[in-house]
Structure 1
């Protein structure tokens, strides 16, 4: 590997060291309902997000709480000996994509049938650290 590629690869590894992610595939909840809960915790600190999800009434919050705990565990494996409170982890990005649909048929009057689509979704959650913005005056 050339020196330029090696240097850029090392930069990418350093950038990825601060993040951890977890995925949830084929969750049997409609993507729209999951996005309502995901929008609440996007950009929020991890401890606050856990509190929000724990006391939320929506069914999707249980799944997202478990996924967030998994992402935290993944971060702890990556950064051994590091403390979560000192790292100031936040939910950097959370995406909810639609998964497969189970198509069922419900009987309707006069010999007809109505299609029922049981939706599922895929959730990807990425944790990162807070980025400290440095003013242009401080750089001088």
Structure 2
């Protein structure tokens, strides 16, 4: 017997987050493949600053699912998370004897894809 299932993909993205991609990936690796509720629990109790930004993005993807498609966000799970490096802000720090020391402030772009399996 063949049951028909259709998978809807919901996308949300955040660009130019003022944080290193390495720090964001440390958090995203923990929630990839989890359900929406499990991902919320993990993000709320992790001690990293990146969790706040990822929590906002996850809630945005869930809001897209309920607003655009009229679906329950509790039936969804995180299928893909992509963290890309953005542009770096270039700044200078004054150092000894009038020298300037370059500082790079990295940014990143995060895209989250959630899937909802409907029967």
Same fold (TM over 0.5): yes
Shift of 1:67: 0.4
Report which of the two has the higher share of strand. 2
Return the match for 1:119 from 106, 109, 112.
106
Q: Give the Cα–Cα distance (whole angstroms) in 1 for the partners of residues 68 and 98 of structure 2.
A: 59
> Are residues 1:84 and 2:73 paired?
yes
- For structure 2, the 5+ residue unaligned runs are none
Q: Residue by residue, what CA displacement relative to the aligned partner does 1:84-117 show, whole Å, maximum 9, x if unpaired?
A: 34x3x21100011111111011122233221100
Aligned-residue RMSD, C-alpha: 1.8
Q: Which has the higher contact order (CA 8 A, sep 6+)?
A: 2
Q: Aligned residues, how many? A: 113
The equivalent residue for 1:11 is none
> Are residues 1:99 and 2:86 paired?
yes
Shift of 1:59: 0.5
TM-score scaled by length of structure 1:
0.74
TM-score scaled by length of structure 2:
0.86
Q: Give the Cα–Cα distance (whole angstroms) in 2 for the partners of residues 99 and 84 of structure 1.
A: 29
1:1-140 equivalences under 5 Å are 18-80=8-70, 82-85=71-74, 87=75, 89-129=76-116
Q: Give the Cα–Cα distance (whole angstroms) in 2 for the partners of residues 96 and 84 of structure 1.
A: 23
Larger Rg: 1
- For structure 1, the 5+ residue unaligned runs are 1-13, 131-140
Report which of the two has the higher share of helix. 1
